[in-house]
Structure 1
Amino acid sequence: MTPVKDHILVVEDEPTLAEVLAEYLKAAEFDTHIIGDGGLVIDWVQRNQPTLIILDLMLPNKNGLDIFKELRSFSDIPVIMATAKVEEIDRLLGLELGADDYICKPYSAREVVVRVKNILRRIRPSHASQQPSLSLSLDHDTMQVHYHGELVTLTPAEFRLLAKLNHRQGIIFSREKLMDAIYDDSRIVTDRTIDSHIKNLRKKLLCIDDSQECIKSVYGVGYKLEL
């Protein structure tokens, strides 16, 4: 049986740039689709569910930031955001939007392909790279966690926090995204609340294995889980 190819959506209103990038992705054995109108993206994504999106910020009819925010309201599809302004990268990071990567135009199409492969490798690791993650198991029905075979007693908030980080290991989650995962009742919480939960969660995991700190801080962005 022929394996199903990953489908990459290129959202870019510069036709030449979009076509070049699409050709490089096709050469790397990805299926591709190009959209140049920001107003068409959300409907297409909901109907076709691409594997990953390369999303330009400056688009006609709807800009990339608005598309990304709407996208994250219903999907965790990996997104690489592209901008023509270097200073925009810092602003994006400051907003803690939670995109999977950022690239600055003009970019190397070859480098973008490498970045796409790296992201897909992180979210869908090979069998060999899955071995370390066997050290952590979560039972969502009983809200029990075992780390290196030992039961870890967590609060409901800590369990939901760990489950969110574990869902996509290696991906950085902003504090805002983690808040949404922990509390679904619109209560007002601060960054300190997330930091406190992270501190307690780290302490409990380190009590079992102090050889590595698997929950890592990414300054100015958020947290990620690496096992």
Structure 2
Amino acid sequence: MCAYVLVAEDDPKQAELVRRYLCREDHTVRVVSDGRSAIDEVRRQRPDLLVLDVMMPGVDGLDVCRVLRRDYELPVLIVTARKDAEDKLLGFDLGADDYVTKPYDPRELMARVRALLRRARPQADRSLSVGDLVLDPVRHTVHLGTQEINCTPAEFRILATMAASPDQVFSRGQLVQQAFGLDGNITERTIDVHVAKLRKKIERDPRYPAYIRTVYGVGYKVTDGRTIED
């Protein structure tokens, strides 16, 4: 079951470990390092699952959970170094669906992720939409309006990574890490090749792309196709 997972974790090493394990299971992953960013990302593109660290700068994980539960129904897996039972109960009272205490075995974390996604299957079936471009992360299908676009698994991963955060610019290195994780066969040059092939399939005129746009000197982003800057 492929899903869009948002990870809110301020420890870079811990965040990278979780991201890599999630990518191994073909999930699309977005990582933020503070509570305010977590709230903003959920409001911009609601994830299928939120992996939420409690101890973060500014707005902590419990406050994030409190704020989001007012408007959203999404699975929340809290990760924390706190071992106090009261903190655990507070997390559940605020709307957390599961709770993992650091240090933990990443395999246990993934098992809990799978269980939460199974229980929330109707949400996990939700597509990613950017303008007329629609991606189904579960079925690995891409549609442009009524036309189905045949994408390879690698092309789908790149497109889904960017479509999960429309208008966000991704460097080639970020696309390698977020879309492919531990796959050492993917290089930054490979990203350019896949993007060129995607444009031939999606764009009306690949020379003037409207959906997959280049931000020169930085990388690529997916837009709704309404304006052309390239």
TM-score (norm 2): 0.50
Shift of residue 93, structure 1, vs aligned partner? 1.3
Q: How far is the alpha carbon of 1:94 from its aligned partner? A: 5.0
Q: Post-superposition shift, 1:91?
A: 2.9
Aligned equivalents of 2:97, 2:90: Cα separation in 1: 14
- 1:202 is matched with none
Going from structure 1 to structure 2, the CA distance change for 1:73 and 1:19 (only over 3 Å counts) comes to same
Give the CA RMSD over aligned residues: 1.7
Deviant stretches of 4+, over 3 Å: none
Match of 1:112 among 84, 109, 112: 109
> Is contact 2:10–2:34 with CA below 8 Å preserved after alignment?
yes
Displacement of 1:42 in angstroms is: 1.0
Letter in 2 for 1:93: L
**Which of the numbers 67, 76, 96 marks the counterpart of 1:99?**
96
Whole-angstrom distance in 1 between the partners of 2:12 and 2:3? 22
Distance (Å, rounded) in 1 between the aligned partners of 2:42 and 2:95: 18
Which residue of the other structure, out of 12, 33, 36, is the alignment partner of 1:36?
A: 33
Within a 5 Å distance, the mapping from 1:111-130 to structure 2 comes to 111-124=108-121
CA distance in 2, matches of 1:77, 1:30: 16
SS at match of 1:107: coil
Other structure's SS at 2:96 match: coil
Shift of 1:29: 1.1
Aligned-pair CA distance for 1:123:
2.2
Percent sequence identity over aligned pairs: 40
Classify the secondary structure of the residue corresponding to 1:86.
coil
Give the distance between the partners of 1:98 and 1:81, measured in 2 at CA.
10
Flag the structure with more relative contact order, 1 or 2, with Cα contacts below 8 A and sequence separation at least 6. 2
- Separation in 1, partners of 2:12, 2:23: 16
Displacement of 1:85 after TM fit?
1.5
SS of residue in 2 equivalent to 1:24 = helix
Equivalent residue pairs, number = 121
Give a deviation string over 1:7-62, Cα, whole Å, max 9, x none. Answer: 11110000001101100000011111110022211111111111000100110111
Aligned to 1:81: 78
Larger Rg: 1
Distance in structure 1 (CA, Å) of the matches to 2:37 and 2:46? 14
In the TM superposition, 1:1-227 aligns within 5 A as 5-87=2-84, 89-94=85-90, 96-124=93-121
Q: Distance in 2 between matches of 1:102 and 1:75?
A: 19
Q: Residue deviations 1:49-83, cap 9 Å, x none?
A: 11000100110111111110000011011000111
Q: Which amino acid aligns with 1:119?
A: L
Letter of the 2:87 partner, please give it: R
The worse-fitting range, judged by mean Cα deviation, of 94-103 and 112-121 is 94-103
